[in-house]
Chains A and B, each alone.
Chain A
Amino acid sequence: MDPKLKKTKDSSSNSANSPDSTHSSFPFPDEVLERVLSLLHSHKDRSSVSLVCKDWYNAERWTRTKLFIGNCYSVSPEIVARRFPRIKSVTLKGKPRFSDFNLVPQYWGADVHSWLVMFAKVYPFLEELRLKRMTLSDESLKFLATSFPGFKALSLLSCDGFSTDGLKAIATHCKNLTELDIQENGIDDFGGGWLSSFSENCSSLEVLNFASLSSDVSFDALEKLVRRCKSLRILKVNKSISLDQLQQLLVHAPQLIELGTGSFQQELTPWQYEDLETAFSNCKNLQALSGLWEATSLHLPVLYAACASLTFLNLSYAALQSGELAKLVAHSPNLRRLWVLDTVGDKGLEAVGSSCPLLEELRVFPADPYELDLHHGVTEAGFLAVSHGCRKLHYVLYFCRQMTNAAVATIVLNCPDFTHFRLCIMNPGEPDYLTNEPMDEAFGAVVKTCTNLRRLAVSGLLTDLTFKYIGKYAKNLETLSVAFAGSSDRGMQCVLQGCPKLRKLEIRDSPFGNAALLSGVEKYETMRSLWMSACNVTMSACRLLAKDMPRLNVEVMRDEGSDDRQADKVYVYRSVAGPRRDAPPFVLSL
């Protein structure tokens, strides 16, 4: 080995002690190291790199341009500003995931404004902002639109607190906007006028997704926009866009890679039908299709020509029957990802199993989640059918009303590569419907067989045995979601002691108490967060945890009218920023 390099290695290992000396002994100037490191994009890799030595820490921080913060309260804007001088893209996630299901009260926090203020000071050249489960006001959006002249991409997923007025500000002021992606937010829709606020000079859009907004937009403005944005590759319109309007849009944008249609229900003349068919067949690059609101068998055939190249089909807003789905997937042999409603039934899923051998991801959503009647939706039979035909399946989200241990065992034998297994048996505490036993063996089979499992959501009647299995076998598990499960503290303890890579643990309505909570005292700093609601944890245990672990934020929210000693909702997360300073009165920081 080159002795020079060897020497370098030695001196690098000493660099932690003498920051100045490394410069002379290190053969490569900082610029070279920075050049190399700038090729690193994964934030996990960068995190590892920054831990090597001080030199690398510095080189890394100067070359990082993309910031990923999985929990906005784990760090403060000031700390971030000090460490990273050259950020162009920020991804921020806020509220705990269970806020999606109304378990977190409004005004909990995760307001982005203080971050924006800091960004405006330190990162005036910020180009991208991606927020998930954050709160932002119209003022913040206006501030964003006017503070960053080079701003290009805004993506808002599951956020709240703003209205279409805020979007108007973005459309008006961001002259170089390439991406506007608004998904599933709790926003006030004051009309579609925001779309008309795009300047006539704006031709840079590549991504436009307003599928989840409800009010009408000016079709004229939209058409003109699509026409002049030649680089548009992702277009997802909302329900107000009709089929014939869609056809006109497609004519201007045959280069689309992802399309979200508007309403798929309209009386069309034969000419219009044909034009629509032609428009779809001209979209040779289409890989993803979504929208399809109210689609019926009448109009689905126009899609057949475009289906050949599809890799992602999102039918989760189209209540299709089994026959309709069967015909559609018969034309889509290249599907990798499929989202459907359970109206397709087991029969529809059988068709998927036989038509889509390359399928990797399946999500089946319930059309009528509160319906208990068993003859609706899908059962274990559908899941089995897919697993027989789609051996490459590795991601599943499955809502059903009945399941058996045997079926799940067979499914994972067919598809041992699961990385994400999210099974939701909708009636809480539902046993194996054939044997009446708990579903422990089902999840036991999953963790034993699927060694690459990273994410698991359990449901049904479950005892501590499930968690013993998880702790023993799920060595790559990162995210675990638990509801109405377990018998005692032992269950949670097994998971905390057994899963070395666990990062997110969210539990609701399960009999885990103080002993369980405190058994993870040393674990929580290695995790992003822990959520426990409607369990058996008391305030005293939470206080103890907070006292013992100063680098953990332990927050409690109490339900109305509950005992003073009960900690109804507990949220524990590691943080270098100390306790929240913006906590509302109902969040107790211990």
Chain B
Amino acid sequence: MENSSSSSIVSTESEKNSVLNLKETELRLGLPGSDFLGKKAGTGISLFGKDLKNEGNNGFRQIPLKNLVSGAKRVFSDAIDGSGKWGFSMKGGSEVDLGNGGSENTNALQSCLAGPSGKEIGNPNPAKPVEEKKNENNSTAPASKAQVVGWPPIRSFRKNTLATNLSKNNVVEEKSGLGCLYVKVSMDGAPYLRKIDLKTYCSYAELSSALEKMFSCFTIGQYASHGLPGQEHLSENCLKDLLHGSEYVLTYEDKDGDWMLVGDVPWEMFTDSCKRLRIMKGSDATGLAPRAMQKCKSQS
């Protein structure tokens, strides 16, 4: 049963959670983007035409039917607005009034589509997610809560030192054997594999973006061969379009050796357990992403 989430879910999401880990993996139904409030940035993924994983929203995300029909695909930029935040964003804002139902969502989608879809999403700077988190946390505050100059009152030296220290610490911890760093990425049909360092990304958005860039060359041929209508020439966005047509599904092999759908769990948990990545053809992805399959079928 696919239902739109009510705004009540939105309001619970905006509570500051103390029992975070449970919430993050809780199965819930909700609109895309409905759970981004109050959460860390970047635990969803909007790659490959699948639904975004906002925290707490596992797998079966809703896309209002009309959005599908109108051809507003769940493009990458749907989930990620220009600044790398997860979920919908109205132009320039971080809060979305989801209580108003479908039409707003369509507008949001379209505004996102019109928006910076090709924009670089996120950045490796750890400070950025924090800032976004700050915006997302406060659902009643004005859209972008700017940092106040000189507040909290900490000397610049300490601020700068801590920023570099923390990022360094993260790297060091990972090197000490916690989880995986470099993982192989394979793509079905590509002649060779690639390797990426998961630690250089801090969100699914960044990972998606990087993979798109890395593998775009491989899909050009396939793109042409599928002959999707309306596209005369190859462009650098072809992989994206192809992927957003959910031709491919991103999966990973975890510590137990199981192949999992990317995007279900919070980012940190993912990087801890991911051993390798595989960009699977949609037709192979049976059982992993039922709706993705449906979309595939409906479009081909």
Task: Please list the residues of chain A having a beta carbon within 8 angstroms of any beta carbon in chain B.
Answer: 98, 100-103, 158, 184-186, 212, 265, 293-294, 296, 316-317, 319, 341, 365-375, 399, 424, 426, 428, 481, 483, 508-509
Contacts and interface: CB of A to CB of B under 8 A. Distances in A.
14 contacts: A101-B151, A184-B158, A265-B172, A316-B158, A365-B154, A365-B162, A369-B154, A370-B130, A370-B147, A373-B16, A374-B18, A399-B154, A483-B153, A508-B150
Contacts of B153: 100-101, 424, 481, 483
Contact of A428 (B16, B151, B154): B151
Contacts of A509: 148
Given A317-B165, A319-B169, A374-B18, A103 B150 contact: yes
A367 B162 contact: yes
B241 interface: no
Contacts of A428: 148, 151
Interface string B149-178: 111111111110110011011001000000
Contacts of A296: 172
Given A319-B165, A369-B159, 13 more contacts: A98-B150, A101-B151, A101-B153, A186-B157, A294-B168, A366-B154, A370-B131, A370-B147, A372-B134, A374-B16, A426-B152, A428-B151, A483-B151
B68 interface: no
Contact of A366 (B16, B150, B152, B168): B152
A368 B166 contact: yes
A317 B161 contact: yes
A98 B156 CA distance: 12
B224 to A, nearest CB: 47
Contacts of A483: 151, 153
A399 B149 CA distance: 17
B282 to A, nearest CB: 37
Contacts of B172: 265, 294, 296
B151 A186 contact: no
A212 B157 contact: yes
A293 B165 contact: yes
The 4 closest A-B pairs by CB, nearest first: A101-B150, A184-B157, A426-B152, A369-B152
Contact of B133 (A100, A341, A373, A508): A373
A426 to B, nearest CB: 5
A102 B166 contact: no
Contacts of B168: 294
A103 B149 CA distance: 7
A367 B159 CA distance: 9
Contacts of A481: 153
Nearest to A426: B152
Contacts of B161: 317
Given A100-B153, A103-B149, A372 B138 contact: yes
- Interface footprint category on B: 20 to 34
A100 B18 contact: no
A102 B165 CA distance: 21
Given A368-B130, A370-B131, A373-B16, A102 B152 contact: no
Name the residue among B18, B40, B138, B162 with the largest chain A CB count within 10 angstroms.
Answer: B162
Contact of B137 (A212, A341, A365, A373): A373
A185 B161 CA distance: 12
Contacts of B131: 370
Contacts of B127: 370
Contact of B166 (A265, A319, A375, A508): A319
A584 B157 CA distance: 25
A158 to B, nearest CB: 7
B20 interface: yes
A161 to B, nearest CB: 14
Contacts of B130: 368, 370-371
A101 B166 contact: no
A319 B164 CA distance: 12
A6 B150 CA distance: 59
Contacts of A374: 16, 18
B134 A370 contact: yes
Contacts of A399: 152, 154
Contacts of B148: 428, 509
A406 to B, nearest CB: 20
B157 A375 contact: no
Nearest to B153: A101
Nearest to B148: A428
A111 to B, nearest CB: 20
Nearest to B147: A370
Contacts of B166: 319, 367-368
B155 A101 contact: yes
Contacts of B137: 372-373
Contacts of A158: 155
B98 to A, nearest CB: 22
A449 B102 CA distance: 58
Contacts of A317: 161-162, 165
A374 B15 CA distance: 11
A374 B166 CA distance: 18
